Amino acid sequence: MLSRLKLTAIRDQLDSLVDEAARSELTIREALALFCRRELARKDERRIEMGLGLARFPFVRDLTGFDFAAQPSLDKAQVREIATGRFIANGEAVLLLGPPGVGKTHLAVAIGREAIVAGYTVLFVPAPILVAQLAKAHGEARLEERLLQYAKPKLLIVDELGYLPFEPEAAHLFFQLVSRRYERGAMLVTSNRAVGEWGSVFGDPVVATAILDRLLHHSHVLTIRGDSYRLREKRRSGLLKAAVTPAPSAI
């Protein structure tokens, strides 16, 4: 019966659960609550595991693994507030800006992970792959399909916008995606370029303004102005001399 009801955690742990209930002298009502909690815990675990798989994160990172002391320019309270996922419920945008190596992707993944735990669907995609896929779909007259795919998740994370400049057509395709999600689905965008430089990223100031208009309308902007964490670690371990400093940041 437990199998048919798909209560697999209770089914698999039935003997130990019954023993536990007896040992703790639980009432029937308390025992039932215990059994349900176990089942829900297993279902949550599965859901989170599946969500993490579907999100296609490039690596496993979480907020507890982020060293805020290393990035004093970052407001920890603001990051924690964003990680609650309220911006997702509101369909808002988060921009994470800063030079390479300061933890933008780490934070994006960590926020995405929190979102999955909270029950949201998340998709992570590097910007160059996103635009390549949109351009390919456009060429094959299947743009609508792709746009739907990217419009579906509650949170779309677009990583590394600005590392490569867009082709003019790509900027337009990206605009279509942003307007499709605007006020409906949340976006988190990371970039090593300041917002003022996005015109040159998109290769077209008009499209850049249209994109920024939508992204910035309901947005939270986090700017990290620190040193690369990777270089810092290397410097600490003595691999790099203290005199070696990272290239001047774009921001």
**Angle between helix 127-139 and helix 143-151 axes, rounded to 10 deg:** 150
Distance in Å, CB of 226 to ligand ADP, minimum: 8
Q: Which DSSP symbol is given to 125? A: E
Distance in Å, CB of 104 to ligand ADP, minimum: 3
Q: Does 105 bind Mg ion (CB under 5 A)?
A: yes
Q: Which is nearer to Mg ion, 20 or 62 (CB)?
A: 62
Total binding residues toward Mg ion, as defined by CB under 5 A: 2
Q: Which is nearer to ligand ADP, 98 or 199 (CB)?
A: 98
Distance in Å, CB of 67 to ligand ADP, minimum: 3
The one of ligand ADP, Mg ion, none whose footprint includes residue 176, by CB under 5 to 8 A per kind, is none
Closest CA to 41 of 2, 9, 16, 12: 9
Question: What does the binding site for ligand ADP look like in residue numbers (CB under 6 A)?
Answer: 61, 65-67, 70-71, 98, 100-106, 229-230
Q: Which is nearer to ligand ADP, 219 or 223 (CB)?
A: 223
Task: Confirm if 225 and 249 have CB atoms less than 8 A apart.
Answer: yes
Q: Which is nearer to ligand ADP, 28 or 248 (CB)?
A: 248
Q: Compute CA distances 227 → 70, 94, 124, whole Å.
A: 9, 21, 25
Cβ neighbours of residue 13 closer than 8 Å, sequence gap 6 or more: 38
Q: In what order do the strands lie in the sheet with 93-97?
A: 122-126, 155-161, 186-191, 93-97, 219-223
Contact set with Mg ion (CB under 5 A)? 104-105
